[in-house]
Structure 1
Amino acid sequence: MNSRNYLGLVGALLLAAGGLSPMVHLPIIGNWNYWDLHPGLATVVYVLAALGIFAAISGKGGLLKFVGWTEFFLILLTLAAVYFKVNDSFSFIPLKSLARAAAGLVHYRWIGWAMLLLGALIMIFSAKKQKAS
């Protein structure tokens, strides 16, 4: 394995660690990670991370780049879904300022999101570029 393979492996392992890190803090309930947010999406993220580990170990740069891009867009989709869900969850409150204040009680834990995005970006940029023949 060369250094790019090790870098891809680090990116895939960062994805796995980021999914277990706190991503959202809810008052009284506590911290939520990817499994608490949506088990289906967490399963897809971890299957893709395992595929990324396989691609890094076997030296398949194209697969590693594909998995990295897929993870990147999936994480952005999840971040957008969480944002809209938090802001929509309190829409039953008739006063808009009170609804905004209630939504403000939910805090993002950016270390988990950063680990996920950094892992995906490392996987994208660690893949070897194809030589034109």
Structure 2
Amino acid sequence: MLIVNKPLAIIGLILVFVAGFCPILQVKIIFEWINWGLYKTDVRLFLITYSFIAITALCYFIRQLKAFRLLTRVMFVWVLLMAAAVYFKSTHYFGMKLADNLLGKAIHFQWGWIVLVSGALLLLFSVKKQRLEV
């Protein structure tokens, strides 16, 4: 039987939702630092992430716990893949070592990743399997 820690799941859903609007990357463009959220970083990542969030929230609210458990695991793996993809895209964008080194020095990860990973971890640990004792 699956048991959901409801406050943990709600807080995780809220954190993952809010993290998409937090600054994810900080880019230096001509003496000025610009913060990019998930939407400005890559629209496809934004749309896929929010579709995962919407389906996960739907499964939580209609009490489809097996699907919710699966989607929390998928969401956690997706966040890790997304962080790796953004890192490799920012450090290997042009394919030329000199240009990639300059671009890699101009782009920095921001605190939005911490919010995103913590929300995904809360979702991951909000569901546990427990045996029924008769």
TM range (shorter): 0.7 to 0.9
Q: In the aligned structure 2, how far is the partner of 1:18 from the partner of 1:47?
A: 14
Name which of 61, 75, 79 aligns with 1:75.
79
Q: Answer with 56-65 or 68-77: which moved more.
A: 56-65
Deviation at 1:89, TM superposition (A): 2.5
Q: In the aligned structure 2, how far is the partner of 1:119 from the partner of 1:66?
A: 16
Letter in 2 for 1:128: K
In structure 1, runs of 5+ residues without a counterpart are: none
Q: In the aligned structure 2, how far is the partner of 1:82 from the partner of 1:103?
A: 11
Partner residue, 1:61: 65
In structure 2, runs of 5+ residues without a counterpart are: none
Deviation at 1:6, TM superposition (A): 2.7
Counterparts in 2 of 1:33 and 1:52: CA distance versus 1, 3 Å: same
Q: Percent identity?
A: 26
Q: TM-score, normalised by structure 1?
A: 0.80
Partner residue, 2:43: 39
Q: In the aligned structure 2, how far is the partner of 1:7 from the partner of 1:54?
A: 16
> Is 1:30–2:34 an aligned residue pair?
yes
Which structure features the higher share of strand residues? 2
Partner residue, 1:118: 118
Deviation at 1:113, TM superposition (A): 0.9
Q: In the aligned structure 1, how far is the partner of 2:100 from the partner of 2:47?
A: 32
- Once the two structures are superposed, residues 35-74 of structure 1 have per-residue CA deviations (whole angstroms, 9 ceiling, x without a partner) of 1122122112111112222233333332222111111111
Letter in 2 for 1:103: G
CA contact (8 A) 1:68 1:120 kept: yes
Q: Answer with 2-11 or 71-80: which moved more.
A: 2-11
CA contact (8 A) 2:4 2:128 kept: no
Aligned length: 128
SS of corresponding position for 1:49: helix
